[in-house]
Amino acid sequence: MADYFARSPADAATDADAIAKLPEIQDFNLSTTEELNGRQRQQPVALAIAAPQERILDSLNHYQPCHIQLPHTERCFFAISVDGEFYSLLKLAPTQESGLTIARHISTKPDKKVVLTKTHQGYAVWLWEPEAQLHLE
C-alpha cells in the first residue's frame, strides 16, 4: 500500500484523506453468494464508476485478474483488466457505501477512473493505471 502513494506523490494527500479510515486489504475473492432456486451459488460482481454514472459488471467475463508493471517501478502490482484497461488494487472498503464514497471522491478528478469489485469482506477499490503494462512472468 505504501508503494502506491510513493509512486503517485501528487495525489497522495487527496487520496489518503478519502481512504485513511478503511481497513487494510485482506481478500481478493471476487464473488458474492446469491440464492437461486433454493440453492446458493457464487456470483462475481463488479461496479464500474465513471462520472457521472455507474455501470455494473456482473461476471468475471467482464474483467480478468492479472499483474501489471508501471513504467517508474520494477515491482509488479495485483490488478484487473477491464475492457483492455488496467486497474491496480487500491483499498478494500468494508461496505458498498464506503467503496462508492471513495470511488466518487477519486473519480471527480478528470484523469482518474475507479472500479469496485465485490469480495467476501467488502468491496475492492481499483484505480485506473493508463501507463500500465501486463506483467508477464
pLDDT tens for residues 16-74? Answer: 444 454 444 333 333 444 444 555 544 445 555 544 334 445 567 788 999 999 999 98
Distance (Å, whole) CA 52 – CA 36: 33
User: DSSP class of residue 14?
Assistant: H
Indicate the pLDDT class of residue 111, thresholds 50, 70 and 90.
confident
User: DSSP class of residue 25?
Assistant: P
Q: What is the DSSP string of 48-72?
A: EEETTEEEEE-SGGG-EEEEEE-TT
**Which three three-digit cell numbers place residue 134?**
501486463
pLDDT above 90 (res 81): yes
Segments making up each domain of the chain, as ranges: 2-134
Mean pLDDT of the chain: 70
Per-residue model confidence (pLDDT) at position 82: 92
Which pTM does this prediction carry? 0.62
Distance (Å, whole) CA 15 – CA 120: 24
What average pLDDT does range 88-115 have in this prediction? 88
For the chain, the C-alpha Rg in angstroms (whole number) is: 15
